[in-house]
Structure 1
Amino acid sequence: MKKVAVVSLIDEHERRQHIDSLFDAHNLDFSYFDAINKTQVEDTLQKHGLKVQSARMSAGEVACYLSHYCLWQQVIAHKLPYLMVFEDDIYFSKRAKTLLNNLDWLPNDFDVIKLETMHGRVMINKGIDIMLDHKLCHMRSSHMGMAGYIISQKGAKKLVTMIQGLGVDRPVDHIMFDRLIEQKASKVYQVSPALCIQDKIYNEQSTRFGSCLEEERQARPVIKVKLSAQQKINRELMRLWTQMQLVNFSRSLLLTVGGYKKQKIEYKE
């Protein structure tokens, strides 16, 4: 199994032509991972013993979630030290070629390294210099998006174990770049400036790659599930927890004292 994977639906010919050209220009050897489509959701859930635990998850979101979950399972099964994962609507910065073809900067002990940006402000530390004016920063607040990341064997095991306990209860980026970050021992990093960016973030007016997932989210069709009494209790407890702004403020204050600061993650062509 190659150490670079691009998640792409098998019939997305325009996107795959874009990826073929992009990765060839950056000398990156990769393989496509045929993304789970909506017709495969039920069989895939059953195969992995998973259940959808939220009525707000659309079929497309579940399919996206399962695509990444299946890749993490492959990381574990093939005992890969790491896997670079990209989605099929990205662009690379000019310096991505050098950094992604020379991974000596990878830390020995990491869970996930985020390579993209959504242009949001993220709580990160000063980080360490890696090369070409880029830094590797420890990340301690959420930063959504799944378009580019590196996951380690250890990180894959953590996420798979977490999901087997929780079920599919929220979009996959909320698990990787929020729930995992909340764990005290998590080692989730951000490359700054980012090395890649999604088409819709790079140019909000772009119509080059239509997003079925975004259309689904706007229409919000859902997979109907009946929550158990315990699941309802858990949902209410989580809602109360998120309303405890004092706790969140205290956490931010402690991180600030520890050298963390909310910064916008830039993307430089």
Structure 2
Amino acid sequence: MAPNIVVISLATALERREKISQQLRSLDLEFVFFDAVNGSKGHKLFQHYNSQKRLREEPDDMSPGQLGCYASHYLVWEQCVQSGYPLIVLEDDALLFAERFAAFANEAELLPARLECIRLFAPLREKNKPLRRVFEANGLEVFKYQKGHKSTTGYYLTPAGAEKLLAHGMEWTQPVDLEMDEFWKHGVENYGVLPPCLTNDQGFDSMIGYAGQKPDRKLSVTLYRKVKHLNEALARLTHNLKFRLR
């Protein structure tokens, strides 16, 4: 079935809302805003955040903006499961490539159920190359990527994929985009489109509210982080090798 379009945006972000509204209306695409969680005001979902575990891996806590961002996407995933409909989830600083985005939105109902989450932008890592084309129809091409895309600017999500992300998100230790990238853990495969449908609008500053320069890492944190990243790299490699063999 055709996906609904949801734009995550703070209720006070009027300029951003106007910009994304103009883009979607020009394509004659219906959409709704989801009022994002303001991290500075707190939220009941922040109880999912495990600060103690986070500080074993990083020198600082997640910022209120990062927590608010995670909570906003988490709530949209819940809506996706409850509705039973796939979604195209956009953040309000998405800059759409009009023709490509409209084509994806109009052809998305052709996507098979096994494609539970598809990133609609180019990976932030240039070395993150696609492993295999997994779907093609009417000019719409979807690829399996070897690593995560490191952003949540825009993505397609099915209820089955949302349910897996919710289960994985019972404990937060890092920003939502990095949690979504851990496909070998939660089982929501990392797919993307080529060419991309959108990018991040550089005309807007980030509203996440990063804390600036991070404190120096303790030796124990550095060692723990290195071991963790090595284990994750091996797990990701193993997962991708199994994918190739399927």
Aligned position for 2:196: 194
Confirm or deny: 8 A CA contact 2:39 2:66 kept in the other structure: no
**Correspondence list, 1:65-214, <5 A:** 65-78=70-83, 80-93=84-97, 94-120=99-125, 121-127=127-133, 128-132=135-139, 134-164=140-170, 167-177=171-181, 179=182, 181-183=183-185, 185-200=187-202, 208-213=203-208
Is the 1:130–1:136 contact (alpha carbons within 8 Å) kept by the matching residues of 2? no
Stretches of structure 2 lacking an aligned partner (at least 5 in a row): 55-59
TM-score between the two structures when normalised by the length of structure 2: 0.80
| Partner residue, 1:17 | 18
Q: Distance in 2 between matches of 1:170 and 1:252?
A: 21
Could you tell me how far 1:86 is from its partner in structure 2? 0.2
SS in 2 for 1:146: coil
Contact 2:7/2:34, CA 8 A, preserved across alignment: yes
Q: Secondary structure at the match of 2:108?
A: coil
Any stretches of 5+ residues in structure 1 without a counterpart? 201-207, 222-232, 260-269
Q: Contact 2:95–2:198 at 8 Å: present in 1 too?
A: yes
Deviations 1:175-203 (A, max 9, x none): 112x1x12485433111111011113xxx
8 A Cα contact 2:37 2:71, kept in partner: yes
1:161 offset after TM fit, Å?
0.8
Instruction: Tell me the secondary structure at the aligned position of residue 132 of structure 2.
Output: coil
Equivalent residues of 2:184, 2:236 under 8 A apart: no
Is contact 1:118-1:197 (8 Å) kept? Answer: no
Aligned residue in 1 for 2:49: 51
| C-alpha deviation, 1:31, in angstroms | 0.4
CA contact (8 A) 1:3 1:83 kept: yes
Q: Which of 212, 215, 218 is 1:218 aligned to? A: 212
Question: What RMSD, in angstroms, separates the aligned Cα atoms of the two structures?
Answer: 3.1
DSSP-derived class of the 1:117 partner? coil
Measured in 1, the distance between the counterparts of 2:236 and 2:46 equals 37
Inter-partner Cα distance in structure 1 for 2:198 and 2:122: 7
Task: Give 2:227's aligned amino acid.
Answer: L
CA shift at 1:139, angstroms? 2.4
Structure 1 residue 25: Cα displacement: 1.0
Q: How many residues align?
A: 229
